[in-house]
Amino acid sequence: MVLGALEAGGTKMVCAVGNEKGEIFEQVSIPTEAPAITVPKMISYFKEKKIEALGIGCFGPIDPDKKSETYGYITSTPKLAWADYNIVGAFEEAIGCPVGFDTDVNGSVLGEVTFGQARGKSSVIYITIGTGVGAGIYIEGKLLHGMLHPEAGHVLIQKRSDDTYGGKCPYHKTCLEGMAAGPALKERWGKDARLLKDKKEVWDLEAYYIAQALTNYILTLSPELIILGGGVMHQEQLFPLIRSYVKDMLNGYLKTEELKDLEHYIVPASLKDNQGIMGCLELGRRAVCEEQN
């Protein structure tokens, strides 16, 4: 099956062609400008490749509810040119193939569950720490949507008593994204996160905040595996620090095999940063199956 995959982001649109095995044949990146400029470029790319279905993992908030009138829309995004934009409709109309649609992070967790280290698990969380923070949640074999879809990057966390930074989230100031995403690191420490590698205090505080969120996810969702990706998580020294804080925060309350072995419970992404686009291939494959049923 020739499947198209689109990882729609606020700065770039990654378009790829692959198959149902998660193999990627080719991939291009198109800068995210207004829909009138960017969408026709993507449509002509996918048309030329004769794709049989398309999977879109999209920045949000989006409407993933098939019963809703605005299914397939990007809804209240701060990227104003894309607010209330029917992205699924645009591709369905132009290409005429089945289109699967979910959040970018649900795409990533689906990639890991279908093709990566989370195969065989039924409850997995994927968290990206990059320009923003987001979480894809796969619980008991299903991508979680609920009322809308989780926005777990915006969970509220407790500020450490010595931290004077005011937070960067326009909605909640000091939520996880406001305290721990790349732009917050840059504003707090005065340099891009990539240039802060040797500053121990940066990663200790970062791990403290990420661990609070993970502890809350563990307590509310009971995942079997937690995967951390995104640009900031390329700082590998974060992993042992995060595991150690999670252990302290849980304080022995839960006794499971997973929590005895945090090194294999809180892990980096396994698909070389292709988890998102591979998940979109699976969203495309699933759209074909749904159409046949």
Interface contacts to ligand ADP, rule CB under 6 A:
9, 11, 130-131, 182-183, 192-194, 230-232, 234-235
Structure tokens at 2: 């020739």
230 binds, among Zn ion, ligand ADP, none (CB under 5 to 8 A by kind): ligand ADP
Instruction: Select from 34, 92, 32 the least CA-distant residue to 66.
Output: 92
CA distance 180 to 207: 9
**CA atoms within a 13 Å half-sphere pointing along the CA-CB vector of 81:** 10
Query: Does 168 help bind Zn ion (rule: CB under 5 A)?
Result: no
Q: Which does 182 bind (CB under 5 to 8 A by kind): ligand ADP, Zn ion, none?
A: ligand ADP
195: helix, strand or coil: helix
Residues of the chain by 3-state class (helix, strand, coil), percent to 5: 40, 20, 35
Pair of tokens at residue 108: 């990533």
The site partner of 172 among ligand ADP, Zn ion, none (C-beta below 5 to 8 Å per kind) is Zn ion
The answer to the question of residue 173 lying near Zn ion (CB under 5 A) is no
Residue 66 near residue 102 (C-beta atoms within 8 A): no
When asked if residue 159 is in the footprint of Zn ion (CB under 5 A), the reply is: no
Q: Which does 173 bind (CB under 5 to 8 A by kind): ligand ADP, Zn ion, none?
A: none
Minimum distance from residue 157 beta carbon to Zn ion (Å)? 10
Residue 175 partner contact from Zn ion, ligand ADP, none using kind-dependent CB cut-offs of 5 to 8 Å:
Zn ion
CA dihedral for 148, 150, 154, 156, sign (positive or negative): positive
Q: From the list 109, 143, 155, 169, which residue makes contact with Zn ion (rule: CB under 5 A)?
A: 169
Minimum separation from the CB atom of position 129 to ligand ADP (A): 7
Residues that bind Zn ion (CB under 5 A): 154, 169, 171-172, 175, 177
